[in-house]
């Protein structure tokens, strides 16, 4: 059946009839969408929506993450059409997933960007659909968290990252990708006691009460034990998951703006993401994929896998698994 489908399927981003089911379209051709899901602005019947946020005007170092969503979509075509490995259900057949396209914004009117992004994500949530965002730099998580907190109250933040991004900045209108979680905590969008940052390996004296599991702790204790600790911290509170690709060591994800050695391996990340299944996940993002700094495409491939795992975690939460 798969061979016959592969002979005839093409441009599934536009031609597929059903929001569910695998796609056997050749990886080397066809219109690109995330996991060959239908490109649409119609959320009717959808469970989850993948959306791109091509914004990188908050970076402190190397730019290029505005190209991340496009690269992650392309890299997702390399994933097998079979059910994602390690999960006890078939994500693509059981859940209706759409590619909602990208956020449109005026690149020359940066002050208007945060409210526009909050409204974009809010519209998805109001349709009863869980969003997964493809960044873009890490600032995007702040306006996204505002949309979630407006509907669910203060969120538990699960952050995989090399940096805490809680450096002090009381100017709430200043747009910067190193201070947005300071602002999120101070604004009441995040409950720090029920939040955890994993993979940290840069210094920041004030973590605002957020639980820290640094990279060395993951290496020494192992990913399975770390996942158990993450679940203990999060409990049954509504969770937003953000995965900065620089949480991975530069050996696995060189294409990012602020790489730091000593990071997580892709194997550690995959085990932790699978072992936290059952958390009350409401949405998530993968950010800081900067294709110009990785000619191999490995960083975008990692980003595509992370986004798929976030979708699986959303599926597990919906199933009550």
Give the residue carrying structure tokens 């402190």.
60
pLDDT of residue 3: 54
Q: Two tokens at 247?
A: 């949480």
106 annotated as ligand-binding: no
Contacts of 134 (CB under 8 A, 6+ apart): 34, 50, 51, 52, 53, 68, 69, 72, 73, 285, 286, 289, 303, 307
What CATH class has 2-154+239-319? alpha beta
Query: Across the chain, how many H-helices and E-strands are there?
Result: 11, 9
214 annotated as ligand-binding: no
Q: Give the predicted TM-score (pTM) of the model.
A: 0.96
Q: What b-and-e string marks burial along 145-173, b requiring 16 or more CB atoms within 10 Å of the CB?
A: bbbbbeebebbbbbbbbbbbbbeeeeeee
Tell me the C-alpha distance between 188 and 49, whole Å.
26
pLDDT of residue 186: 97
Residue 69 near residue 292 (C-beta atoms within 8 A): no
Residue 160 near residue 270 (C-beta atoms within 8 A): no
pLDDT of residue 28: 86
pLDDT of residue 205: 87
246 annotated as ligand-binding: yes
**DSSP states of 288-306 as a string?**
---GGG-TT-HHHHHHHHH
Distances (CA, A) of 69 to 43, 134, 304: 20, 5, 9
pLDDT of residue 26: 85
244 annotated as ligand-binding: yes
Tell me the C-alpha distance between 288 and 62, whole Å.
10
99 annotated as ligand-binding: no
Within the chain, which residues score under 50 in pLDDT?
none
pLDDT of residue 25: 87
**DSSP states of 219-263 as a string?**
HHH-HHHHHHHHHHHHTTS-EEEEEEGGGB-TTT---SSS--SS-
56 annotated as ligand-binding: no
In the chain, what are the domain boundaries? Answer: 2-154+239-319
Q: Angle formed by the axes of helices 141-152 and 113-126, to 10°?
A: 40
């Amino acid at each position: 059946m798969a061979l016959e489908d592969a002979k005839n399927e093409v441009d599934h981003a536009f031609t597929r009839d059903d929001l569910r089911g695998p796609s056997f379209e050749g990886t080397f051709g066809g219109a690109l969408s995330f996991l060959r899901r239908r490109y649409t602005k119609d959320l009717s019947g959808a469970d989850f929506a993948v959306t791109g946020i091509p914004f990188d005007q908050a970076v402190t170092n190397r730019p290029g993450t505005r190209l991340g969503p496009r690269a992650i979509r392309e890299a997702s075509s390399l994933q097998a059409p079979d059910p994602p490995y390690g999960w006890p259900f078939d994500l693509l057949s059981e859940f209706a997933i759409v590619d909602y396209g990208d956020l449109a914004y005026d690149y020359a009117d940066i002050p208007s960007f945060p409210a526009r992004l909050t409204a974009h994500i809010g519209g998805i949530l109001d349709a009863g659909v869980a969003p997964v965002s493809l960044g873009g730099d890490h600032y995007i998580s702040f306006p996204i968290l505002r949309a979630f907190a407006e509907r669910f109250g203060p969120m538990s933040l699960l952050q995989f990252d090399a940096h805490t991004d809680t450096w002090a900045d009381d100017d709430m209108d200043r747009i910067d990708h190193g201070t947005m979680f300071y602002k999120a905590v101070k604004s009441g969008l995040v409950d720090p006691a029920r939040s955890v940052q994993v993979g940290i390996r840069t210094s920041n004296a004030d973590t605002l009460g957020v639980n820290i599991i640094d990279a060395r702790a993951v290496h020494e204790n192992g990913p399975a034990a770390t996942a158990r600790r993450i679940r203990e911290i999060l409990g049954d509170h509504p969770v937003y998951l953000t995965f900065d690709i620089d949480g991975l060591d530069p050996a696995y994800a060189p294409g990012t703006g602020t790489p730091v050695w000593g990071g997580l391996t892709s194997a550690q990340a995959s085990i932790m993401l699978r072992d936290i299944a059952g958390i009350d996940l409401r949405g998530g993002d993968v950010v800081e994929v900067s294709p110009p700094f990785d000619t191999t495409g490995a960083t975008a491939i990692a980003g595509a896998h992370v986004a798929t795992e976030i979708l699986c975690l959303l599926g597990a939460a919906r199933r009550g698994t």
